[in-house]
């Protein structure tokens, strides 16, 4: 991604040289391109992405916001927070022998990431098969990886027409933006298709619901440059304008929108689908937390402690039983919860009930279940704090959930009905 930004003129030479010097000094010279997105000291020292980095770039027909998500197992919650804001996925796989297989075997991250982004409503994926220079530009290796991924992507729910593949070698900048130059000579012998930038330029922007009530789940809170506090997130419906008052849920607080930034530029308004930074005034920063939702005071987002959901169970070893403890993920928030009732198993294609009150849910099952939030503190009152949710039929972006247990994702689904 760093190399791509450089090729498209989004990363200047001065910064590139500084990153190169810094990464050489740290003994991680091959990471210099990653540094344009991995900005924190810890990310640079460990050589892995840990948080979501935001960047933007322009191709001839598209303005694209990049959410660079971590691939490492330990940072899946951050990855989910990024993927829940995305419209399309760019999956980068390593063509080096053994590396692709490691990501793809059971428990591998390539597998989990594909399932996660699909569950979060992303329907288009571009696969960049990277590091082809390490396998001598082998066409057979590229074909092998594509043949492996195609059926898996279909099985995960991606339509073949919305799945594109591009062979690249990012360190050399081959086939990211152009196929010219000496480095691309060997690839040109067997590939003359679109470049990665061409594929990104052809992505279909989804329909945005600007008439829906405004919903902004907060994905980050930071101190504003001048005064006040700033929050960032993506609009899941509606329009926001400078000067508007917004309610923060959960809680009784309201805030005024002093300024709106999109791609580092100040704008008078923003609409559904945009990633924004809002500078808020007349609110104590104490009341703004990651996972809170901003909405109009006249049309509040519902708060839920118990709700029903339709889920699909992933490839799990231990079945899900009634009373099972899980972690519930919704946008940038994760909370402890319990599967309080198994209502029915459903036919995956028609959605008809196949069995009422099943005893367990095994892998690959589609089911309707009831989920109840658990208390988060060991001391104090034992009342679970409600979270802002909406049923999928009302707002698709606000109605998707993921379930995890013991560090692995066990299911994903949509909110059907909220019971308070």
Per-residue model confidence (pLDDT) at position 226: 67
Per-residue model confidence (pLDDT) at position 47: 67
E strands present in 34-94? 53-59, 62-68, 88-94
| Alpha-helix runs per DSSP H in 236-383 | none
Query: Considering the chain, what percentage of its residues have pLDDT values greater than 70?
Result: 90
- Mean pLDDT score, 343-371: 90
- Mean pLDDT score, 134-157: 93
160 versus 85: which is more confidently predicted?
A: 160
pLDDT bin (cut points 50, 70, 90) of residue 46 is: low
Per-residue model confidence (pLDDT) at position 316: 87
| φ, ψ (nearest 5 deg) of residue 142 | -60, -45
- Mean pLDDT score, 35-47: 65
Q: Which residues pair with 67 in a beta bridge?
A: 54
Q: Mutual orientation of helices 109-119 and 76-83 as an angle, nearest 10°?
A: 40
Radius of gyration of the chain, Cα coordinates, nearest whole angstrom = 22
pLDDT bin (cut points 50, 70, 90) of residue 44 is: low
Per-residue model confidence (pLDDT) at position 39: 62
Q: Is the pLDDT of residue 380 over 60?
A: no
Q: Is the pLDDT of residue 414 over 80?
A: yes
Q: Is the pLDDT of residue 261 over 80?
A: yes
Whether residue 71 contacts residue 113, with contact meaning beta carbons closer than 8 Å, is answered with: yes
Q: What is the pLDDT of residues 291-349, one digit of tens each?
A: 999 999 999 999 999 999 999 898 888 999 999 999 999 988 999 999 999 999 988 77
Which two three-digit tokens encode residue 104? 């793809």
Q: Is the pLDDT of residue 118 over 90?
A: no
Per-residue model confidence (pLDDT) at position 81: 77
pLDDT bin (cut points 50, 70, 90) of residue 35 is: low
Per-residue model confidence (pLDDT) at position 383: 76
Task: Please choose, from the candidates 310, 400, 365, 406, the residue with its C-alpha nearest in 3D space to the C-alpha of residue 116.
Answer: 400
Q: What is the pLDDT of residues 50-103, one digit of tens each?
A: 667 778 888 999 989 888 887 777 778 778 878 888 889 999 999 998 888 888
Look at residue 44 and give its three-state secondary structure. Answer: helix
Distance of CA 116 to the CA centre of its chain: 8
pLDDT bin (cut points 50, 70, 90) of residue 24 is: confident
Query: Considering the chain, what percentage of its residues have pLDDT values greater than 90?
Result: 54
Report, in this order, helix, strand and coil percent for the chain, each rounded to 5.
25, 35, 40
CATH numbers and ranges of domains, the chain? 2-201 (3.40.50.300), 216-295 (2.40.30.10), 303-418 (2.40.30.10)
Q: How many CA atoms lie within 13 A of 12 on its CB side?
A: 2
CB contact burial 296-311 (16+ within 10 A = b; e otherwise): beeeebbbbbbbbbbb
Mean pLDDT across the chain = 87
Q: Is the pLDDT of residue 7 over 60?
A: yes
- Mean pLDDT score, 168-196: 91
Q: Is the pLDDT of residue 225 over 70?
A: no
Per-residue model confidence (pLDDT) at position 41: 67
Q: Give dist(CA 400, CA 412) in Å, integer.
A: 8
Q: Is the pLDDT of residue 26 over 90?
A: no
| φ, ψ (nearest 5 deg) of residue 200 | -65, -35
Task: Tell me the C-alpha to C-alpha distance, in Å, between residue 270 and each of 69, 153, 389.
Answer: 24, 33, 22
Q: Is the pLDDT of residue 393 over 60?
A: yes
Per-residue model confidence (pLDDT) at position 82: 80
């Amino acid at each position: 991604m760093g190399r791509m930004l450089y090729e498209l003129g989004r990363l200047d030479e001065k910064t590139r040289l500084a990153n190169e010097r810094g990464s050489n000094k740290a003994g991680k010279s091959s990471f210099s391109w990653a540094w344009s997105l991995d900005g924190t000291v810890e990310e640079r020292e460990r050589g892995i992405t840990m948080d979501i980095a935001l960047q933007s770039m322009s191709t001839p027909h598209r303005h694209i916001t990049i959410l660079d998500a971590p691939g490492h197992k330990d940072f899946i919650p951050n990855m989910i927070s990024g993927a829940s804001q995305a419209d399309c996925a760019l999956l980068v796989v390593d063509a080096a022998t053994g590396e692709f297989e490691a990501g793809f075997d059971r428990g591998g991250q390539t597998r989990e990431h594909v399932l996660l982004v699909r569950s979060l409503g992303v329907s288009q994926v571009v696969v960049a098969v990277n590091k082809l220079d390490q396998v001598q530009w082998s066409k057979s290796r590229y074909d092998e990886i594509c043949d492996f991924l195609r059926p898996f992507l279909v099985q995960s729910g991606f339509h073949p027409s919305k799945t594109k593949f591009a062979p690249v070698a990012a360190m050399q900048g081959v086939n990211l933006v152009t196929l010219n130059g000496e480095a691309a000579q060997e690839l040109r012998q067997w590939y003359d298709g679109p470049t990665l930038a061409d594929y990104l330029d052809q992505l279909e922007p989804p329909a945005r619901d600007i008439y829906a009530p405004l919903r902004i789940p907060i994905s980050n809170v930071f101190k504003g440059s001048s005064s006040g506090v700033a929050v960032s997130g993506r609009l899941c419906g509606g329009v926001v304008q400078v000067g508007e008052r917004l309610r923060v849920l959960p809680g009784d607080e309201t805030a005024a929108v002093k300024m709106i930034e999109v791609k580092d530029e100040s704008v008078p308004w923003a609409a559904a689908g945009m990633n924004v930074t809002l500078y808020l005034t007349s609110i104590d920063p104490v009341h703004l937390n990651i996972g809170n939702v901003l909405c109009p005071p006249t049309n509040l987002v519902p708060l839920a402690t118990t709700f029903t959901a339709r889920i699909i169970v992933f490839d799990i070893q231990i079945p899900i039983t009634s009373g099972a403890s899980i972690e519930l993920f919704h946008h940038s928030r994760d909370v402890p919860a319990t599967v309080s009732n198994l209502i029915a198993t459903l036919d995956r294609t028609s959605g008809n009930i196949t069995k009422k009150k099943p005893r367990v849910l095994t892998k690959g099952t589609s089911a309707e279940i009831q989920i109840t939030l658990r208390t988060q503190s060991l001391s104090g009152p034992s009342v679970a704090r409600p979270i802002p949710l909406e049923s999928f039929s009302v707002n698709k972006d606000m109605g998707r959930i993921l379930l995890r247990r013991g560090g692995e994702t066990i299911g994903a689904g949509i909110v059907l009905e909220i019971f308070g």
